[in-house]
Amino acid sequence: MEPQSEQQELKALILENQRLLSENNEILMKMQRSAVRHFWLNVAWIVFLLGAPTLLFYRFVMPMYESFGLTPSSVSGQLQEVNELRALLQEQR
């Protein structure tokens, strides 16, 4: 082979290698962006799954219980009263 044609082949191979490297780099950058986006969407989803029920409970359910007079402290007090009544009824038998 002639040295001129070998140089042209090497030049063509080097150019092809550079093109493949740049294409590979673009694909890797897209994959990295996708992974970061996926991570933050998962974090947001977990926060939503934990926060939404908590918010709904404190925003809507607790006021309904409080309107009926059923706060956690009153419920425990009512349970004590019920237990005292049971004990009185047991003593009377």
Residues 6 or more apart in contact with residue 65 via CB below 8 angstroms? 71
C-alpha angle 40-46-50 in degrees, rounded to nearest 5: 145
Percent of the chain, pLDDT > 90? 55
Neighbours of 91 (CB within 10 A): 7
Q: What long-range pairs does 41-50 form, CB within 8 A, spacing at least 24?
A: none
Output 58 or 15, whichever has higher pLDDT. 15
Question: Which pair of structure tokens corresponds to residue 5?
Answer: 């044609």
Q: Which of 15-29, 33-47, 57-71 has the lowest mean pLDDT?
A: 57-71
d(CA 16, CA 10): 10
Average pLDDT of span 48-73 = 82
* Mean of the per-residue pLDDT values of the chain: 88
Average pLDDT of span 57-62 = 85
